[in-house]
Amino acid sequence: MSKSRKTRDKEQQASKGRRGRKSSIEIATPPYGGSPVPLEPIDGVRWRIPKKGLMRVDGVIYAGKDLLPDLREDRCLEQVANVATLPGIVGESLAMPDIHWGYGFPIGGVAAFDEEEGVVSPGGVGYDINCGVRLLVSDLPADDPSVNIRKLTQALYEAIPAGVGSKRKDLRISAGELDQVMQQGVGWAAKNGFAEAHDAEHIEEGGCLPNADPSSVSSRARLRGRGQLGTLGSGNHFAEIGMVDTIYQREAARAFGLKERQITLMIHSGSRGLGHQVCTDSLQEMLRAVERYEIPLVDRQLCCSPITSSEAKRYLGAMAAAANYAFVNRQVMTHWARQVFKRLYGASLITVYDVCHNIAKFERHLVDGVSRRLLVHRKGATRALSRGHEDLPAAYRDAGQPVIIPGDMGRYSFVLRGAQASERTFASACHGAGRLLSRSEAKRRFASEDVAGRLACRGIVVIGASRATVIEEVPEAYKDVARVVDAVQEGGLADKVARIRPIGCVKG
């Protein structure tokens, strides 16, 4: 990637007099700092935040009217406006209906940047690089009398390590193998017997980002990642057994391999400690870069660097390496889940699709009718390619990309397909329900409640690494994902294909 002349000049100027100098970033006034952020209606589900102050573009929120009160309870709308101040942003600063406050960018935020004049911001990806979700379908019907969901959930809990610092003792990789994981992604898993032939084709980017640079990953990040391959981790990560209870579009469902009463498995996890450390390391370098390149900031958490700079190249290389690690992480858990289904019931698991939630990737999109190469940041958002797109696997070319939207462990999740209007959002849709309550607030409100027992009475088996984790993930901590999905469909970003009801859940 060549550097623009403007960037090279600034690098040379910075190197002359600023080495070793302590960072002293000046923070500009946020566009709507301290005052309510206005929302002007565009249509039934789109709302505009008009340009103000340092904003270079408008903000656009996708949300039904019933979701608006939830959005105003934290500072996520202000963050949408703040993102709009970053150099080189193209189109609008976007937010999906599951938006809530995050580090720098809101969770549910999408922003695209010109490859020459734009920036990359670690806050636009987040700490859990390539946190994502994989959907698998089994050939096992839910009404098979031999199926014991409690036994199946317990077996998955024993096979897939969950919780803070979780490790699986029988998977050891050397430092050299870790480099291969970060460089080759799911290709490494295939070579080592952890993947089936169809898996890579049904994973975003084929399960490997091509610009990964393991040499940009710190020794601390490597140390954190080596023992955590094939583990869920904690927080909102899960392995969830579901049952398809509603089909909305039979043709698309058939293409995805979905049918009523079918048992499914969703695996939601990311790059674990390795990705977290990559983000931590990069934030420090980006804070220095902001001063070096004289980038005006309205929030330190939006620290960034020009895409053409050496700092951006290092971050993007390390981020891609962490993303490939995450692809392999979900692939190895898929392998162990397959062993469980095979051993207990002689059943198979086929990958429907695996999508990224937290990523920055170069993609081509139409902007004012012109195809442009942009760096698209998706933080808590899912790619949603419409039918006919050249990046879709052949099996989904006529149907559109599967868009997997997990809900909470007590209600339902949805499978959608990318729709044509997703071009407005750089082929993006929501990634989940979105939190209503913080983890601390959920624990405060439900500390005395037997959450797992309550769900068991509704036929949902929940096994968590700790009681505290299960309480943090109580269904009431989340928005009703059906309302979120309705806004996505009404906005033309993705269309409902099927609904899945949870029947067993392993929580990290």
Q: Which residues contact 296 (CB under 8 A, 6 or more apart)?
A: 28, 54, 85
DSSP 8-state secondary structure symbol assigned to residue 116: T
DSSP β-ladder status, 494-507 and 461-464:
parallel
DSSP 8-state secondary structure symbol assigned to residue 316: H
| Candidate list 202, 357, 377, 431, residue with the active-site label | 431
Cα gap 300→311, rounded to integer Å: 17
Q: Which of 381, 377, 373 lies closest to 360, judged by CA?
A: 377
Inter-residue contact 358 to 124 (CB < 8 Å): no
Sign of CA dihedral 59, 61, 67, 70: negative
| Structure tokens belonging to residue 16 | 């002359």
Instruction: List, as one string, the DSSP characters of 11-38.
Output: HHHHHHH-TTPPP-PPBPPPTTTTSPPP
Cα gap 210→216, rounded to integer Å: 14
Question: Is residue 268 among the annotated active site residues?
Answer: no
Cα gap 118→395, rounded to integer Å: 35
Cα gap 71→39, rounded to integer Å: 11
Q: Which residues contact 122 (CB under 8 A, 6 or more apart)?
A: 104, 279, 282, 283, 286, 303, 304, 315, 319
The SS3 call for residue 226 is helix
The SS3 call for residue 243 is strand
The SS3 call for residue 443 is helix
Q: Buried b vs exposed e over 366-381: b needs ≥16 C-beta within 10 Å?
A: eeeeeeeebbbbbbbb
Cα atoms in the 13 Å half-sphere on the side-chain side of 268? 24
Strand partners, 448: none
* Host H or E run for residue 341: helix 310-345
Inter-residue contact 229 to 328 (CB < 8 Å): yes
Rg (CA), the chain: 22
Question: Residue with structure tokens 């202000």?
Answer: 78
Cα 310 to Cα 101, 177, 320, 322, 359, distances in angstroms = 30, 27, 15, 18, 19
Q: Catalytic positions, please?
A: 431
